[in-house]
Structure 1
Amino acid sequence: MTSAPEAAPPSSRPAADLHGKLSLRSKIAYGLGDMGNGFMFDLGQAYLLKFYTDVAGIHPAAAAGVFVFTKIFDAFMDPVAGIFVDQRKGGGRHGRFKPVMMYSSIALAILTVVTFLTPGGTDGVNLVYAYGSYMAWGVLYSFTNVPYGSLASVMTQDPEQRAQLASFRQAGSVTALLVTGIAFMPIVHAFDNERVGFATAAGAMAVVGIMGFYATFRGTREVVPVARSTEKITLRGFATTIGQNRALLVLILMTVFSISAYNIKPAMIVYFTDYNLQNQDLLSVVNFFGIGSSILAILTIPSLVKRFGKKQVAISGFALAAVADGLNFLLPTNTVVFTILYSLSFVGIALPNGITWALVSDAIDYGHWRSGVRREGITYSMFNFSRKIAQAVAGGAAGFGLSLIGYVPKFTSDPAMADQADGILQGIKSLQTLYPCIALTIAGAVLFFLYPLTDKRITELVAETREREAATAVSDEPGAR
């Protein structure tokens, strides 16, 4: 038996034009949240595998197991976080989502440093510590990222404004990836002991991360009226709700391929510059041009979406990135050519990655239209579930791939390294370029053939939902016939 949704209290429903323009300040503040997120999240995706293999002494295959198992575990934490925020009362001047996001981000920063520590014991002890610390990190990440991601859907219902929020969010994310890509390893190398260097670098990035979330906490408002559901959530009801949302299901399928491609690139570029380009100092240079170029692409998202629509721009971005990665695999390795194509790949993938957040907000509205109940937290958490699975795939592909090609860490003196060099180089190149090419091609095809919404259609659905709820409110008034 489902009880009627509990109306949001007036304090969480300030007078606002839900289709009006958001201030530049609120857009920047929202984007800074994903920058803060990136300063903690990107470290695990880009440098934790390197830390595990070359500092903690964990075998690549075992390290891959850490990523696969913990990311799948984390994926199941996202629905828990989603249910938690959906069933919170919306009272208070800070709203429903922001307090959870802020407090969790502080704990997440502490766990970020903890993941880059190692007991220095046997391989088994180090491996157990890696599992425990990264699983704990994942739980806090869910309770930080789910409310943050849900926040956009209650800031506005205007498709154009949501596209702009998505572009600001992606700009914040890429800025974090750019800064960590340039600064993290130089900080590590500033210390004679890399164990100290990794922990120090992680600590510095985590502090900046908290500052980013605080900017979002202070600079954004929840204005979309939200009904808090008091129904008991069951697994069957959960599955039914998600199963009715075709738009969300397509985004989940697309994301498994797109995010796994996106996340394997920073994980492998550390190895690629070290071995294939034979100059670890080039890591900062390649990241500067590659990731920096994608920031320029993000700035074009609002105008491109306004002219062509979110779906069309996202598909075009997938195509550009897939072609660039394919060429990088086929052409002989050259630093200049690789960097140019690497940059084009990041430009291409920045478009769908930025637009995806607006698509998720549209999926929330679509689910509201279909079911009559608005569940930002659960919808976003299920989308984030797919991202965690994709991250598990990327981490597993990188770690198991390194093991499969016979990668031997630099600190070892295994003579087999010389005999395996050619195969290792080709294997690293395949993981860096061929895997993303294939995965991005599939992601684009899924979006092209299966995604049901256009910008025009989502505007119609929002209007229909409002009219239906207005009619229901009138019929429920005392004396109404």
Structure 2
Amino acid sequence: MAGYLTATQRGADLKEGRLSLKEKISYGMGDLGNGFMFDLGQAYLLKFYTDVAGLPAAAAATVFVVTKLFDAFMDPLAGTAIDGRRKVGRSGRFRGVMFYSSIALAVLTIFTFLTPGMSEGINLVYAYASYMAWGVLYSFTNIPYGSLASVMTQEPVERAKLASFRQAGSVSALLITGVAFMPIVLAFDSERVGYAFAAGAMAVTGVLCFFATFRGTNENVPVVRSAEKLTLKGFAGAIVGNRPLLTIILMTIFSISAYNVKTSMIVYFTQYYLGDVTLLPFVNVISIGSSIIGILLIPVLTRFIGKKNTALLGFGLAIVADALNFILPTTPILFTILFSLSFIGVALPNGITWAMVCDVIDFGHWKNGARREGITYSMFNFSRKIAQSVAGGLAGFGLSAIGYVPNAAQSEAALSGMKVLQTLYPCLALLVAAAVLYFLYPLTDRRMKAITEETRDRELAAGASSDDFSR
């Protein structure tokens, strides 16, 4: 039966911790599907608002700030709802919720790239309503997907491999949308029609990817239920007492905001600073494609230097590349080379963080006696939404502050400001993220192995039976 294995099979899987190649690929397909819908909002929605819906850059920025903050507070509610389910269906705790929510998410993805085309005020209200509704469905899709990895395996190297496959899916989506989205839009005489059609094509593809994850993965790790009903106090205890989680949250606010500012600004940067928007697919395919190198290195580096040091190595490479891109004179070739090196570097911490979140879940289980996958992952996702809010606001308000004028020649001050947003802010934000990880994150792979073994021994000693594994 899909979703759960027999007790004998589970015991063998947990002992070895191994996952099949099919399960790893299927898991990675989920973030491919995620990206087909999520990346559109991060990379193209701001430009849709400013250039098609006719919203001022500052108003468009406010949409991102407000809706992402709203989404951030939706994530803990979604995580609590998922963790609070007392009955688990045949699809498991996470897989069914993930897939069925993804269908509704696809519909709302299309709606975000529509605009009434009436007054500025009506267009603005529609932007708020459609993107906030999208955020609610995204929470109920992405939180169960992210939590799924923690119940597939507890073996550190296997989790690193899952993180690699997930990051590969994410990068592949960013690559495909980065190369294909704008050419599809520009193939239509009307940009309004082009944006809606391109969003629809990506959304349908995203649902198919989530279906592959739904069908191809299993929930193998025993579910240990607390006897007490989940309360606000229990929710707070699961978060406040988990130092590794708080560290990952703080790090993520800076690292993801840096990454999202880069992806939000690149369409403006190529069109105005490099002088040719048709360069965008080429810059994206080279830079995003190069990040696959980082993804392939994650399992190897993790095996030899551990997850934390792998992330720090990536941060260092991205910081140096972004700093050089800011300091050196900009040419299309040099910019693309350094931009690509930055993407390779960022791919390491962005990928390995997913494995770290699984470790954080296990740490909370060890400390508090109950697994809170949904709550823990939702709080991590909370930090990502805060970072996205910062990035969307910074890009939009930044464009307004530097004097950006849609579809017109830009002033020297505006062009200089674009370079600051594209290169200097990511450099500084990644530097802070690296410092937070280096000084505050306490978990090593060796410590996690001891924590996992101690937790398993404690549960067995408490009399956990094979029947507990399916509840």
TM-score by length of 1: 0.93
How many angstroms does 1:228 deviate by? 3.5
* Equivalences for residues 216-231 of structure 1 within 5 A: 216-229=213-226, 231=228
Give the aligned residue type for 1:25.
K
- Contact 1:86–1:377, Cα closer than 8 Å, also in 2: yes
Corresponding residue number in structure 2 for 1:479: none
* Equivalences for residues 64-463 of structure 1 within 5 A: 64-89=61-86, 91-229=88-226, 231-410=228-407, 421-463=411-453
How many angstroms does 1:467 deviate by? 1.1
Corresponding residue number in structure 2 for 1:48: 45
- Give distance in 2, aligned partners of 1:11 and 1:133: 43
Corresponding residue number in structure 2 for 1:5: none
- Among 460, 465, 469, the residue aligned to 2:459: 469
Cα 1:260/1:463, change in 2 over 3 Å: same
Which digits, 9 at most, give the CA deviation of each residue in 1:416-452, with x for residues without a partner?
Answer: x66xx10000000100000000000000111011000
Cα 1:112/1:230, change in 2 over 3 Å: farther
Moved more, 220-229 or 323-332: 220-229
- Contact 2:5–2:218, Cα closer than 8 Å, also in 1: no
Give the aligned residue type for 1:433.
T
- Among 8, 17, 21, the residue aligned to 1:20: 17
Give the aligned residue type for 1:365.
D
- Contact 2:4–2:220, Cα closer than 8 Å, also in 1: no
Give the aligned residue type for 2:13.
D
- Give distance in 1, aligned partners of 2:70 and 2:108: 16
Superposition CA RMSD, Å: 1.6
SS in 1 for 2:357: helix
How many angstroms does 1:474 deviate by? 7.4
- Give distance in 2, aligned partners of 1:261 and 1:436: 4
- Give distance in 1, aligned partners of 2:94 and 2:7: 11
- Give distance in 2, aligned partners of 1:230 and 1:270: 52
- Give distance in 2, aligned partners of 1:474 and 1:221: 21
Moved more, 117-126 or 76-85: 76-85
How many angstroms does 1:376 deviate by? 0.4
- Give distance in 1, aligned partners of 2:138 and 2:464: 42
Corresponding residue number in structure 2 for 1:4: none
- Contact 1:119–1:129, Cα closer than 8 Å, also in 2: yes
SS in 1 for 2:348: helix
- Contact 2:29–2:169, Cα closer than 8 Å, also in 1: yes
- Contact 2:108–2:130, Cα closer than 8 Å, also in 1: yes
SS in 1 for 2:237: helix
- Give distance in 1, aligned partners of 2:371 and 2:8: 15
- Give distance in 1, aligned partners of 2:87 and 2:25: 24
The total of aligned residue pairs comes to 461
- Give distance in 1, aligned partners of 2:265 and 2:163: 27
- Give distance in 1, aligned partners of 2:255 and 2:225: 33
Which digits, 9 at most, give the CA deviation of each residue in 1:149-191, with x for residues without a partner?
Answer: 0000000000010000000000000000000000000000000
SS in 1 for 2:462: helix
SS in 2 for 1:309: helix
Which digits, 9 at most, give the CA deviation of each residue in 1:64-121, with x for residues without a partner?
Answer: 1000000010011111111111122464432110000000000000000000000001
- Give distance in 2, aligned partners of 1:391 and 1:443: 15
Which blocks of at least 5 consecutive residues in structure 1 are unaligned?
1-7, 412-416, 476-481
Cα 1:14/1:73, change in 2 over 3 Å: farther
> Percent of aligned pairs with the same residue?
68
SS in 2 for 1:120: coil
TM-score by length of 2: 0.95
- Give distance in 2, aligned partners of 1:130 and 1:462: 46
Give the aligned residue type for 2:428.
I
- Give distance in 1, aligned partners of 2:5 and 2:197: 45
